[in-house]
Amino acid sequence: MEAANESGRQMLRHTVATLAYRGAKVLRGVPPGFADFQACESCRTPGKLLAHLGDLLDWGLSMASGKPNWQEAPDVPWEESARRFFESLKKFDDYLASAAPLECSGENLFQGPVADALTHVGQIAYLRRLAGAPIRSENYFKAAIVVGTVGVEQPTPKLEF
């Protein structure tokens, strides 16, 4: 059972690294005013989605460490919110990399905060397209995604189109 737990933990870490890679791509080079782009009246703005990403990752860490806590961060400028996203990714990944026990199942961490974060990164990518600032498509299968690489600095894409 220990090997299965370690395997699941490594898969979570790979998913977190994937989130960092894709997140860095959609957060890079946004046009001025993009944080407040409103696709529709009931849609979250990219700035609100980015803040929510940090909230999700902080929540994931709180559950992993056995101290579940949901807290919404106040609105801050895009750059500060992006910095928080990567700081929260790092803290979460550092915990997953440690010998500290997971106080909830890896499956629940994946299906809750991690999968939700992946969804929101995709929403930001889509909103960039709607705002006239699309990111380049990429063959993510070929991307150099490395466990533990969770900062804003990511490998250069191997195959964009």
Alpha helices in the chain (DSSP H): 2-27, 46-64, 78-97, 106-109, 115-130
pLDDT band, very low/low/confident/very high, at 3 (cuts 50, 70, 90): low
108 in a domain, yes or no? yes
pLDDT, residue 22, reads 98
132 in a domain, yes or no? yes
Q: What is the dihedral of CA 125, 146, 113, 52, to 10 degrees?
A: -40
Please give the average per-residue pLDDT across 135-157, as a whole number: 96
Please give the average per-residue pLDDT across 23-31, as a whole number: 97
Helices 78-97, 2-27: axis angle to 10 degrees equals 160
77 in a domain, yes or no? yes
151 in a domain, yes or no? no
Quick check: 143 and 158 in contact, CB under 8 A?
yes
* CB count in 10 Å sphere of residue 65: 18
Residue 18 domain boundaries? 2-30+42-142
Supply the Cα-derived Rg of the chain in whole angstroms.
16
158 in a domain, yes or no? no
84 in a domain, yes or no? yes
pLDDT, residue 6, reads 75
Cross-strand bridge partners of residue 138? 160
* CB count in 10 Å sphere of residue 107: 11
35 in a domain, yes or no? no
116 in a domain, yes or no? yes
Sole residue written with tokens 């977190």: 16
The CATH number of whichever domain residue 84 belongs to comes to 1.20.120
Q: Is this structure's pTM higher than 0.75?
A: yes
Quick check: 64 and 109 in contact, CB under 8 A?
yes
Please give the average per-residue pLDDT across 138-161, as a whole number: 96
- Half-sphere exposure (CA, 13 Å, Cβ side) for 126? 12
Q: How many domains does the chain have?
A: 1
SS3 118: helix
